[in-house]
Amino acid sequence: MAHRHALTACLALLLLAAPVAAAGAPAKVRVPNIIGKTPVQASHLASAAGLKLKSLAQGPQRAAGQLYHLVQRQSPAAGQVVARGSTLNAYVQALNKVPKVMGLPVNRAQQVLTQAGFRYRLLRNGGTRGTPIVNGQQPRPGLRLALGSVVDVLAPVVIKTPRPLSSVSGGSEPDTVTPPPDNKQEGYIARPLSLPTPATR
């Protein structure tokens, strides 16, 4: 009989202790996916899941124009189970619209892209004897890209007009000689021709 009472008492203690242990353990929640969301949207998702959002800058953040911010990556990853109240790190990247530079001189196009926070790569397309004007770009204007992205700029290369050779007075022979390109050597200096003196009769 005494043994039975002791067993009953032990079971009662276990039943009383179980809720206490469960109440003391932190609740578990699943991490939401916030990649591609704005910081405001990410904050709402984190709060709804019982997590604290911490925004961290990813890459350049300052440039001319109206910038747009999106979460580029997160930690912990979406789907992981963590304790309620944990911190969810959101790495936020700044984006800007690609400006239109077609029709601008190359130098001006480079300035516009740099001020907008982009790098540029000049690709030669055709030739011109005047000021090179941008005749193409990639990606297209208006597309949102992360600051620091590369924009390809297409423009013709400047073709220089060859300078005419001066002629010897009274003749058609040039006063300097330049060797053919295949035979030209570094340090070569063109020297004046020594023309024979006409015989005196």
What's the pTM? 0.61
Q: Which amino acid is at 174?
A: P
Could you read off the pLDDT of 10-65 as tens digits, one per residue?
444 444 433 433 455 679 999 999 999 999 999 999 999 999 999 999 999 999 88
Closest by alpha carbon to 195, among 167, 156, 160? 167
Residue 1: pLDDT band (50, 70, 90) is: low
Q: Which amino acid is at 10?
A: C
26-96 and 98-158 agree in CATH topology: yes
Closest by alpha carbon to 177, among 159, 161, 160, 195? 195
If residue 41 lies in a helix (H) or strand (E), which one and from where to where?
helix 39-48
- Residue 61's CB is within 10 A of a number of other CB atoms, namely 13
Measure the CA–CA gap between 65 and 114, rounded to whole angstroms: 12
Report the mean per-residue pLDDT for the chain: 79
Contacts of 140 (CB under 8 A, 6+ apart): 98
Q: Retrieve residue 144's tokens.
A: 């949102």
Q: Is the CB of residue 74 less than 8 Å from the CB of residue 35?
A: yes
| Record: fold of 26-96 | Trypsin Inhibitor V; Chain A (3.30.10)
Three-class SS state of 9 = helix
Measure the CA–CA gap between 76 and 82, rounded to whole angstroms: 9
Q: Match domain 98-158 to its CATH number in 3.30.450.20, 3.30.10.20, 1.10.10.10, 2.70.98.30.
A: 3.30.10.20
Domain ranges of the chain: 26-96, 98-158
